[in-house]
């Protein structure tokens, strides 16, 4: 009888040991999975930060960068842009954006800033677009773009936005500044409808028919 009780107790001790070993192994496995998930999450966050950083202008270690093949004297003329002279002498018939970016001013290289003058005749718009490289600040000089004269509006980097002068008689003028020397504008309609995406895919995506997508494409091509 004593031997039987001893055997049962030994079996219970073994079961208890197995349970503890299982619980220990389970918790360690969960800890390992949790740690691995956290590391994967941190790795993904690092990649996102890296991509965002690469989408911005690089920092420079000098006050400015002398443009390639520049042989002139480094004075005020290097930093002067005269391309906006006479810009208001004749009103445009359609929307017009005049830029002062790295292309127009080579001295902007590394300065992380650029500029544009936006002119809107009556009832015109700058179609929906995004700027993947920079945040934009828009200052309304005159007219109305769903703002009031003197208003300043912020367009965060990458956000799809537009400007529309709905006034049927009066023009509007705005000045835009960007946090990049090369602030690209990616216009949404051409980016969607003129990049070779199949008409059936576009029709399904916009819950319409192929005939409608073909008309949109034709309108974009002729404009």
Q: Is 129 annotated as a binding residue?
A: yes
Of the candidates 148, 98, 144, 104, the one whose C-alpha atom is nearest the C-alpha of residue 124 is: 144
Angle at 158 between CA 206 and CA 79, to 5 degrees: 135
Give the position of tokens 């030994």.
10
Name, in order, each residue with C-beta under 8 angstroms of 66's C-beta and a sequence gap of 6 or more: 74
Q: Is 25 annotated as a binding residue?
A: no
Distance of CA 135 to CAs 85, 169, 212, Å? 26, 31, 34
Token representation of residue 136: 């934009």
Q: How far apart are CA 138 and CA 38, in angstroms?
A: 40
Q: Give residue 164's region: left, alpha or beta (phi > 0; psi -120 to 50).
A: beta
CA dihedral 211, 213, 218, 223 (to 10 degrees): 140
For residues 192 and 182, is the Cβ–Cβ distance under 8 A? Answer: no
Give the position of tokens 């029709």.
203
Q: How far apart are CA 97 and CA 61, in angstroms?
A: 32
* Binding-site positions for Mn(2+): 129, 161
Binding residues: 129, 161
């Amino acid at each position: 009888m004593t031997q039987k009780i001893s055997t049962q107790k030994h079996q219970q001790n073994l079961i208890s040991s197995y349970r503890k070993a299982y619980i220990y192994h389970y918790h360690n496995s969960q800890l390992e999975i949790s740690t691995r998930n956290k590391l994967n999450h941190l790795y993904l966050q690092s990649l996102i930060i890296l991509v965002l950083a690469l989408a911005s202008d690089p920092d420079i270690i000098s006050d400015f960068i002398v443009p390639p093949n520049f042989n002139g004297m480094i004075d005020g003329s290097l930093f002067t842009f005269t391309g906006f002279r006479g810009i208001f002498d004749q009103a445009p018939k359609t929307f017009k954006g005049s830029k002062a970016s790295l292309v127009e001013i080579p001295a902007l290289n590394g300065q992380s800033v650029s500029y544009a003058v936006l002119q809107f005749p009556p009832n015109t718009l700058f179609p929906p677009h995004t700027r993947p490289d920079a945040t934009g600040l828009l200052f309304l000089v005159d007219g109305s773009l769903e703002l009031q004269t003197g208003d300043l509006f912020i367009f965060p980097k990458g956000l799809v936005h537009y400007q529309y002068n709905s006034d049927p008689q009066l023009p509007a003028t705005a000045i835009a500044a960007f946090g990049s020397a090369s602030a690209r504008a990616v216009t949404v309609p051409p980016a969607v409808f003129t990049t070779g995406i199949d008409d059936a895919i576009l029709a399904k995506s916009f819950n319409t028919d192929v005939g409608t997508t073909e008309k949109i494409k034709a309108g974009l091509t002729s404009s």
